[in-house]
Structure formats: structure tokens, C-alpha cells
A and B are shown apart, each in its own frame.
Chain A
Amino acid sequence: MMRRILGQLANPQLLALAGVLLINWLLFPNFFRITWQDGRLFGSLIDVLNRGAPVAILAIGMVGVIATKGVDLSVGAVMAMAGAVAATLVVAGYPAPIAVAAALTVGLLCGLWNGFLVAVLDIQPIVATLVLMVAGRGIAQLITQGFIVTFNDPVLIFIGTGSFLGLPMAAVIAIVLLVIVTLLVRKTALGLFIEAVGVNRAAASLAGIRSRMLLLYVYGLSGLCAAIAGIIVAGDIRGADANNAGLWLELDAILAVVIGGTSLLGGRFSVPLAVVGAIIIQAMNTGILVSGFPPEFNLIVKAGLIFLVLIIQSPLAGRLFPARLRPVQEARK
């Protein structure tokens, strides 16, 4: 039992995370210092959780989509739309619960629209979701009329910047979502169905899986997750910035899923490891901020580290690990 837990802890993602945190600690010795301030935890590590939460939430939705051999490029734009809807409604005087519900509904509808294009019209996912990636941001800009819609609603601000048991609200939401979605896919047959459709949709359909409904579900979940992330990001800056909210975050989400060991070719996937992937990305970002590198190096440092992480989990490196330490897809073959 102990051995099994140790074996799981030694997977490449957690090793990479430990490595990134170690580098951060070397560059900035106070990285792990956490203090209690104004009823909440305060420190760089907490920043990593807080700032990493939106991408982690996107990754939770994205991992299911990618496991079906799809991809959802629209999540960044859906974030902008959800934030715009929530902000515009509270500014217009609607109560926060209605604004949040409307934003979540918009996200869900966007996801279902993507799912409809992919599952029913059989459009390739990258093209189908590209439509909403482009149009969604435009719609968000129409909703906000190009302004940054600033609000003072306490509920929305709490979602973005509040804390629960000392942890930032964004991180709490991400953890709750992670637990729910993991239980949903691993304690029911849903995860297996998703993998089956990802490996071979025709075969899965012949085996009796309703692949169309399943695709609608996973794209709908991705849209819903994007809306949650969008509300958090808007609450964080107390305003909906349609031009910049969620910009390029779809790529970070895809990267998080890939770092988490899920193949873009579909099949086996892991929700918790995708979240670890998101935290690795944010740990790098936060590390760059506290290290004091000139900003011109940001992208190069990030690219170099990601390259290292991907090498660690490449099949070649996998063969160098003892069998029980190999990445998910290798060890279970």
C-alpha cells in the first residue's frame, strides 16, 4: 500500500512540479514562506494556487474533450463572454446569483454549440471550436461595448478574491470541481466511455455507447468550466475586460492537459494530473515574477522549462524509469 502511494507520487508530473518549485526556492528563498494575514493565507505558494486556478478549471473541462480526440479552442473567448455577461448584468442592477447563473448558462450553451458542431455535424473539433474562439470574443466586446465594465458587487468580488478556510476562493472552486469531475469519471463508467470514444468512435458506437450524447456532455462541461473561470477572472479585477480576459488561455489549458500526460490523440486521460499540469505552468509564471529576470526572458525561460517537462515524460525517458514509475499511458499498456 505504502509502496503504491510512493509509486504514484513518483510520476513525472509531480517530479516536474517538485523540480519547478525547487528552482523557485533556489531563486527566491522565501518562496515557501506562508503567513496568516487578514484571515487568509498569504505567500507565493498561495499565489500559485490562486493564479493557477483559472487554467486548472479550464484544464478540468479540456481534459475530457481531448480524451475524445477533440480540442476546445473557444474556452478563452467563452471566459470573456461569461465575464462580460456577469459584469453587465450586475451593473444593470440584477442580483449577483442571477448574473452568475446567466454567465454559467451562456458557457454551457457555448459548450453545447461546440458539441453540436462536432457530434452532430461531424466538423473537426479544431475548426468547430475555432468559430467560437473568434466570434466569442467579438460577442464579448459587443456585450461590454468595448469598455472595461467595472463593478462593485460583493458576491462577484468574493468569487474572484475572497477566501474560504484561508484558501483563495478560486483555488477552493478548482478543488471542488476537481473532486466532482474525478468522481464522476472514475466512479462511474463515464470515464471509460470517454476513453472508448477517443480511441475509436465508430467502434465505441457499435459497442453501444451513445457517442453523440457523450460528446455533447464533454463539450458542455468544457464550456461550463470556461464560464466559471471567466467569472473568477472578472471578479478578481472587479471588471470584465473583453479584450484581454482569457486571451490565449486555451493554449495554456491544452498545455496543462498535455503536461498531465493525456495524449492529443485521445484515449487515456487523468483529470488530477491535468490540474497538476496547470499548477506547474503557474509555478513557472510566479517563479519568473519573483526571481527578478528581465521580462525579455519570460517566454524563453518558460519554453525551456516546458521542453524539459515534456522530455521527462516522453516515451524514451519512460523506458529509463522502472515500470511502476512510468507515465500513465506507458505503464498501463
Chain B
Amino acid sequence: MSIITKLALAASLATALSSAALAQDISGKVVGFSQIGSESGWRAAETSVTRQEAEARGVDLKFADAQQKQENQIKAIRGFIAQGVDAILVAPVVATGWDEVLTEAKEAEIPVVLLDRGVDAPEDLYLTSVASDQVEEGRVAGQWLVDTVGAEDCKVVELQGTVGSTPAINRKQGFEEAIAGHDNITIARSQTGDFTRSKGKEVMEGFIKAENGGADICAVYAHNDDMAVGAIQAIKDAGLKPGTDILVVSIDAVPDIFTAIAAGEANATVELTPNMAGPAFDVLAAYWADGTEPEKFIITESKLYTSADDPAGEYERRKDLGY
């Protein structure tokens, strides 16, 4: 199945889900949300999108910021149980140590939905988990490159995330899976840019020197948008045109990359959606309506954005989310 049909299917599925949710009115329900904290721009955006999604559905959202501590999350969940909320959303800070508090929630018959990360606990203790598929993100980025360069030879340089981090490992794996079998595309160099702009720029400068002043590089694949923004500056400093001389593809879809795409300096980004709460509210609506048990793992869509997807508009939509 090609990526396009997959995306189309996912999109129609999403439409079906959201229209189902509109049919079932969940306004007036009280939902507790235990958020990890606000350590990154994406996390802040997730919090604002969750509030928006709750407001759009008329849900009364009780928000608790755990400031990166599991004990705070456990306290918050116990608080929600004591208040008798209708459901609880948790973005768990770590994977272990949840059995006890999840059991308490189950005994109180409050459904729990995990957002963004999983936990090591028996599956019957929570309703479902909503998360992105990081390998798929890499795959979508790789597939975009495969479709774009066609049969031409293409030397790719890769800016990895922090060495050993899960997103770096998964996004690398997905990209390699997508380009496997296309011998015209090779990863010539791969180094870590630590997910930061300045390291992304520094590493790209090195790559350009090492690859014949950048003339040999056909594309740069960055594990996140921030490194891509740094790389774009390095490409410009070397007297080349990012987006034309060197293709730029990255992951996350933060506002600044849309500015670059709109200016023609970046080509594509794969969205790590901050909207984990929307699908969570949808399954809760179905569960409350007729007891529908959702699947245990709901994977959010890894949507590809290019210059054809109104980058200026996407920037406007995202700039106030807290990225």
C-alpha cells in the first residue's frame, strides 16, 4: 500500500472518528489531566491543544502540572479520583510504578487514557494509550525523499538526535527502512546534533566541508526541526540554496520550520502532533455512549507537510500554541 493511500485512509478514519464524537455529546463531563510539565515547546503545545480540544467539546478539564515528578502525578491522580472525575488523562513521566494508582482508578471505575508515552502496567488497568509512532515518522520522511528524487543519485547527510535517545533511534530506523531498496539514495554521513539549533548548524558546517563544499550533498535529514533550522543557516553561509541545492526534510512540525518552508528553504516536515487529547476524548465519548472498548494502542497520524500545504497558514495556526 503506498504512503498516499495510507495517509488517505488515516485521514478518512480521523474524519469518521471525529464525526462520531460530534454525534455523542460529552459536554459537562469532568476530565482530569496530569501533564508531565513544560520541559519543551512541544509539551507546552500539547497542553494548549488539550485545553482547546476540551473546550471545543464542552469538557471541564482539571489540569495538573507534575513538574517532571512521578510522585506529583500520582498525587494528582489520587486527587482526581477523590473529586470523582469522569475520566483521567495522564502523560506519564516514567514507565514504571503506576500499578497501584491505576488500580485505585479502576476500582473507582474511572477510565484512564495514557497520552504520548506508554507505561509498564497490566493493560486492563487503563482504557487505551494514544501515542505517535516514531519509526513511522522516520519512514514518512524517508518516503518523501524517495518520491522526490526518483531515480536520481542522492547522497543524504543525517543530523541525529541525542545519541541513545529513543526518538533518535526510532527516527533513524524508520528513515533507513524507507530508503532500503533504493540504491540511488545513500546516507553518506550521520552525526548527532543533540536536537539543538546550534549543534545542528555546527554539524552541518562540518558535513559541507567534508562533502566537497556541499556540492556532493543532495539532501539533509534532521531528526527534529530545530536542527534543520540550524542546518539551513549553515547551508546559506556556505553560499548554497537550502531547499534547492540541498533538500531539507525533518520531523516535528514546529512553527519556525513552516516559516522556512514558506520561504522555500526547507522542503518537508513530518508532524509529531500535539493533539493527543482529541483522539482520547473521541474514544472516551464512544466508551461512555455504549461501552465501546477501544484498541489498547491508538497511533496518531504522522502527517507530511510540504510547500503545498499552506505553510504560512500552518505557521499562524501554531505560533501561539506555546512551541
Contact = CB atoms under 8 A, between A and B. Distances in A.
Interface of A: 28, 30, 35, 37-38, 42-44, 47, 51, 146-148, 150, 161, 233, 236-239, 241, 243-245, 285-286, 288-290, 292, 294-296, 298
B190 A294 contact: yes
A44 B196 contact: no
A292 B211 CA distance: 11
User: What range describes how many residues of B lie at the interface?
Assistant: 35 or more
Nearest to A245: B198
Given A47-B205, A292-B210, A294-B190, A239 B237 contact: no
Given A146-B38, A147-B323, A238 B239 contact: no
B206 A289 contact: yes
A18 B221 CA distance: 34
A146 B41 contact: yes
B201 A30 contact: no
A289 B239 contact: no
Nearest to B38: A146
B160 interface: yes
B278 interface: no
A47 B205 CA distance: 8
A289 B237 contact: no
Contacts of A244: 194, 196-199
Contact of A238 (B189, B194, B213, B233): B233
A204 B267 CA distance: 63
Interface in B182-210: 189-192, 194, 196-199, 201-203, 205-207, 209-210
Contacts of A292: 189, 210
Contacts of A30: 209-210
Label chain B's interface by main secondary structure.
helix
B59 interface: no
A150 B233 CA distance: 13
B197 A47 contact: no
B209 A43 contact: yes
Given A47-B205, A295-B160, 15 more contacts: A35-B213, A37-B238, A37-B239, A44-B206, A44-B209, A146-B44, A148-B226, A161-B233, A244-B198, A288-B191, A289-B191, A289-B206, A290-B210, A295-B163, A295-B192
Contacts of B44: 146
B256 interface: yes
Among B38, B209, B213, B233, residue most surrounded by chain A Cβ atoms (within 10 Å): B209
A241 B196 contact: yes
A42 B210 CA distance: 12
Contacts of A243: 40
Contacts of A241: 196-198, 226
B202 A298 contact: no
B207 A289 contact: yes
B167 interface: no
B322 interface: yes
B163 A298 contact: yes
Contacts of B206: 44, 47, 286, 289-290
B92 interface: no
B230 interface: yes
In the complex, the 4 A-B pairs of residues with the closest C-beta atoms, listed nearest first: A289-B206, A295-B192, A290-B210, A244-B196
B311 to A, nearest CB: 16
A295 B191 contact: yes
B238 A42 contact: yes
Contacts of A295: 160, 163, 190-192
B233 A47 contact: no
A42 B323 CA distance: 34
30 contacts: A30-B210, A35-B213, A37-B238, A42-B239, A44-B206, A47-B202, A47-B209, A51-B202, A51-B205, A146-B322, A147-B322, A148-B197, A150-B256, A237-B197, A237-B198, A241-B197, A241-B198, A243-B40, A244-B197, A244-B198, A244-B199, A288-B191, A289-B202, A289-B203, A289-B205, A294-B190, A296-B163, A296-B164, A298-B191, A298-B192
A289 B210 contact: yes
Nearest to B191: A295
A295 B161 CA distance: 10
A147 B41 contact: yes
A184 to B, nearest CB: 30
Interface string B24-50: 000000000000001011001000000
Contacts of A233: 198
A28 B205 contact: no
A290 B209 CA distance: 7
Among B41, B191, B239, B322, residue most surrounded by chain A Cβ atoms (within 10 Å): B191
Contacts of B205: 47, 51, 289
A283 to B, nearest CB: 12
Nearest to A290: B210
A330 B194 CA distance: 40
A164 to B, nearest CB: 15
Contacts of A148: 41, 197, 226, 256
A327 B322 CA distance: 53
